[in-house]
């Protein structure tokens, strides 16, 4: 009988040790998994570009041919030096949040996204032709009628068009 109870005691101790080991392993796995989960910073959206500084590129600029209204798509060296580049340099010093806060005297946002289906049909077709299709295009206001159009990919503004006459999204009836 002593033999059996020793055997039983040994089996019980082995079972308890195995259960403790399994519990410890489960705690370790949970701890490791929890440590590897990325947590957002408090009060910040880690996916937001608004905290990032604006950058820009010309890789997608559509500067060939002209629009049906008679304007060349390409800008001149003078337009680049006087109208476009200085503004890009100025905006590159700002975050997208600061850029988003620019508004006119009437409260209208000066720089903003627009759905691609509201720009002129010629521009919509041109985007498909040059394989730059997207649902939303971004527009910078450079002056009274001057606009710079492109796509925003994270913090980078990918310049597509320089619109001298506000014809890509006309607001005045002709």
pTM of the model: 0.72
Q: Is residue 172 part of a domain?
A: no
Q: What is the pLDDT of residue 146?
A: 96
Q: Is residue 48 part of a domain?
A: no
Higher per-residue confidence, 144 vs 28: 144
Domain containing residue 3: 1-37
171 pLDDT tier (thresholds 50, 70, 90): confident
Which residue do the tokens 């492109």 mark?
Answer: 150
Instruction: Indicate if 84 and 111 belong to the same structural domain.
Output: yes
Residues above pLDDT 90, as percent of the chain: 63
Instruction: Indicate if 4 and 59 belong to the same structural domain.
Output: no
Instruction: Indicate if 80 and 19 belong to the same structural domain.
Output: no
Torsion of CA 78, 81, 85, 90, to 10 degrees: -130
> Residue 32: is its pLDDT beyond 60?
no
Q: Is residue 70 part of a domain?
A: yes
């Amino acid at each position: 009988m002593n033999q059996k109870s020793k055997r039983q005691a040994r089996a019980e101790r082995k079972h308890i040790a195995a259960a403790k080991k399994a519990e410890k392993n489960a705690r370790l796995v949970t701890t490791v998994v929890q440590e590897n989960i990325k947590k957002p910073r408090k009060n910040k959206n880690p996916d937001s570009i608004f905290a990032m500084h604006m950058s820009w590129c010309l890789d997608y600029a559509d500067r060939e041919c002209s629009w049906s209204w008679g304007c060349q798509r390409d800008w001149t060296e003078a337009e680049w030096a006087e109208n476009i580049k200085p503004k890009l340099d100025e905006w590159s010093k700002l975050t997208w949040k600061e850029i988003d806060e620019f508004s006119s005297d009437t409260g209208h946002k000066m720089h903003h996204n627009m759905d691609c289906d509201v720009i002129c049909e010629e521009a919509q077709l041109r985007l498909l032709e040059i394989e730059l299709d997207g649902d939303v295009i971004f527009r910078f206001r450079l002056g009274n009628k001057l606009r710079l159009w492109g796509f925003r990919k994270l913090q980078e503004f990918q310049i597509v068009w320089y619109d001298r006459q506000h014809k890509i999204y006309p607001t005045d009836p002709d």
